[in-house]
């Protein structure tokens, strides 16, 4: 009776690896059967930045490289298949005395656990992904109660300009939309600016749902919809140009009824190239309109508040806190697709120099070895 392999002549036989009659097609098929970790080990010292490649591109690169030294590639592959491929020890950087994996390492020289050809690689034990991802999800619905800082910002906005400097995901949009609602209810118009057309488009959709599409318009370089609406979304550059034009002549947007200008992502004020646009917009903003600056990352918000107080007729109140409603977790995503916690703790430690997770350290060292080593 014929064996499976005899009955399926297209399936390459790995034992032919070192024989000369192995065709490129056969070699490609054998490579395709290997776990991707083994292919990366084979690619070490052969292919620059091989960790960036997915399996198919890695095989392609190995085949291209094999034109230079086919026998070397095949013999290294055979060694790796015989000894089974194990990843680097969890402590990281390879010892100087240890040969590069898959090059000079030979059976008997290595104390690595032997894996039979065809067996899959052992799972990384140091990575505790369930712990890393635990608790992420959609919280159960509960009635909306504004936070004290949101109330504080809205209360001050009735009298003064306001800068809101709070962490990302805190709820700055609620302050913006509630302030807009109050302004529109008192027959004032509102302009909302963002630095990006994409964000302006998102806000246009969001505010249209909230206020009704007849009450919301958009002006960006690409789009012009409903410019007479009481709530206009635009990029900051468009507002700056509008304020320039208003100073010298006719514009088709009414600024005399403008009651509120919301500048989202206002940390752009510090941008070396675009910051001047934010600066000029604040300087030229009509005196009767209140300014609401929103940001998660202004480094010196009190300085900015003092500057606005100096140049405008009303004072500027700063609302600031550092509490995170959504705690951050730091992970390290290796180009080979492995995700590990970056630090030993799941959250981001407050003290500098906190210990890295050993698995992240190992993967990072591996990546550094593969990409930064002098060639």
Ligand X SMILES: Nc1ncnc2c1ncn2[C@@H]1O[C@H](COP(=O)(O)OP(=O)(O)OP(=O)(O)O)[C@@H](O)[C@H]1O
Which tokens belong to 41? Answer: 């080990």
Q: Compute the least distance from the CB of residue 202 to Mg ion, in Å.
A: 10
Task: Tell me the window of 5-13, 55-63, 163-171, 316-324 that interacts with ligand X (CB under 6 A).
Answer: 163-171
Q: Per rule CB under 6 A, is residue 203 in the interface with ligand X?
A: no
Full strand arrangement of the beta sheet holding 189-194: 224-225, 216-219, 231-235, 189-194, 258-263, 290-295, 161-165, 316-320
Rounded Cα distance between 289 and 308, Å, is 13
| Residue 67, token pair as written in the block | 């034109």
Q: How far is the CB of 168 from Mg ion (least distance, A)?
A: 7
3-state secondary structure of 173: helix
Report the C-alpha gap between 246 and 313 in whole angstroms: 19
The number of beta carbons lying within 10 Å of the beta carbon of residue 83 is: 22
> Which of the residues 65 through 104 are near ligand X (CB under 6 A)?
none
Q: Which stretch binds Mg ion (CB under 5 A): 78-86, 169-177, 194-202, 285-293?
A: 169-177
Name the residue nearer to ligand X (CB basis): 105 or 175. 175
CA gap 345, 156 in Å, rounded: 39
- Count residues binding Mg ion (CB under 5 A): 1
- 34 makes contact, choosing from ligand X, Mg ion, none, with CB < 5 to 8 Å by partner type, with none
Is 266 among the residues that bind ligand X (CB under 6 A)?
no
- Residue 95 contacts by C-beta under 8 Å, 6 or more apart in sequence? none
Q: Among Mg ion, ligand X, none, what binds residue 296 when CB lies within 5 to 8 Å by partner kind?
A: ligand X
Of residues 45-64, which lie at the interface with Mg ion (CB under 5 A)?
none
- Report in angstroms how near the CB of residue 349 gets to Mg ion at its nearest: 26
> How many other β-carbons are positioned within 10 Å of the β-carbon of residue 183?
23
CB 235 within 8 Å of CB 194: yes
CB of 325 to ligand X, least distance (A): 6
Map residues 170-199 to x or -, x wherever contact with Mg ion holds by CB under 5 A: --x---------------------------
Picking from 260, 257, 325, 326, the residue whose alpha carbon sits closest to that of residue 294 is 260
Q: Binding to ligand X by residue 172, rule CB under 6 A?
A: yes
C-beta closer to ligand X: residue 164 or 238: 164
What's the closest the beta carbon of residue 38 comes to ligand X, in angstroms? 42
- Decide which of ligand X, Mg ion, none touches 15; Cβ closer than 5 to 8 Å per partner kind: none
Select from Mg ion, ligand X, none the partner in contact with residue 147, using the beta carbon and a kind-dependent cut-off of 5 to 8 Å.
ligand X
255 CB-near residues (< 8 Å, 6+ apart): 242, 243, 246, 286
Minimum CB–partner distance for residue 223 and ligand X (Å): 21
- Residue whose CB is less far from Mg ion, 80 or 166: 166
Q: Which residue has the tokens 């590069």?
A: 100
Please report whether residue 171 would count as binding ligand X according to CB under 6 A: yes
Instruction: Write down the least CB distance from residue 173 to Mg ion, Å.
Output: 5
Query: In Å, how far are 61, 127, 220, 236, 285 from 197, measured between CA atoms?
Result: 39, 39, 6, 10, 21
- Written as six digits, the tokens of 285 are 């903003």
Non-local CB neighbours of 1 within 8 Å, separated by 6+ positions: none
Sign of CA dihedral 160, 161, 165, 169: positive
What is the per-residue binding string for ligand X in 123-162, x denoting contact by CB under 6 A? ---------------------xxxx--x------------
Position 327 contacts ligand X (CB under 6 A): no
d(Cα 280, Cα 352) in Å, to the nearest integer?
Answer: 38
Binding residues for Mg ion (CB under 5 A): 172
Binding residues for ligand X (CB under 6 A): 144-147, 150, 168-174, 296
């Amino acid at each position: 009776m014929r064996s499976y392999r005899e009955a399926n002549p297209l399936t390459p036989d790995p034992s032919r690896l070192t024989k000369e009659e192995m065709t490129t097609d056969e070699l490609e098929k054998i490579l395709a059967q290997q776990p991707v970790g083994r292919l990366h080990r084979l690619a070490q010292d052969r292919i620059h930045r091989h960790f960036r490649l997915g399996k198919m591109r890695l095989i392609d690169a190995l085949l291209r490289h094999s034109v230079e030294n086919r026998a070397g590639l095949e013999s290294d592959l055979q060694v790796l298949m015989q000894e089974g491929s194990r990843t680097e020890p969890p402590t990281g950087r390879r010892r100087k005395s240890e040969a590069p994996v898959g090059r000079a390492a030979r059976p008997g020289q290595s104390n690595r656990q032997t894996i039979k050809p065809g067996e899959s690689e052992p799972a990384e034990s140091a990575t505790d992904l369930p712990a890393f991802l635990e608790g992420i999800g959609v919280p159960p619905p509960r009635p909306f109660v504004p936070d004290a800082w949101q109330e504080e910002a809205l209360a001050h906005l009735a009298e003064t300009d306001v800068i809101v400097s709070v962490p990302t995901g805190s709820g700055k949009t609620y302050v913006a939309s509630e302030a807009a609602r109050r302004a529109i209810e008192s027959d004032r118009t509102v302009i909302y600016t963002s630095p990006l057309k994409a964000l302006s488009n998102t806000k246009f959709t969001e505010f249209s749902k909230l206020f009704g599409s007849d009450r919301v318009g958009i002006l960006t370089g690409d789009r012009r919809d409903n410019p007479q609406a009481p709530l206009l979304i635009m990029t900051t550059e468009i507002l700056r140009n509008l304020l320039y034009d208003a100073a010298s002549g006719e514009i088709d947007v009414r600024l005399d009824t403008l009651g509120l200008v919301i500048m989202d992502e206002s940390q752009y004020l510090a941008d070396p190239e675009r910051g001047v646009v934010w600066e000029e917009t604040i300087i030229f903003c009509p005196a009767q309109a209140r300014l609401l600056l929103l940001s998660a990352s202004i480094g010196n918000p009190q300085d900015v508040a003092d500057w606005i107080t100096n140049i405008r007729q009303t004072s500027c109140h700063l609302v600031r806190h550092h509490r995170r409603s959504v705690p951050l977790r730091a992970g390290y995503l290796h180009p080979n697709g492995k995700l590990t916690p970056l630090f030993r703790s799941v959250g981001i430690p407050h003290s500098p120099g906190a210990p890295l997770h050993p698995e992240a350290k190992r993967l990072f060292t591996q990546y550094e070895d593969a990409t930064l080593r002098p060639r």
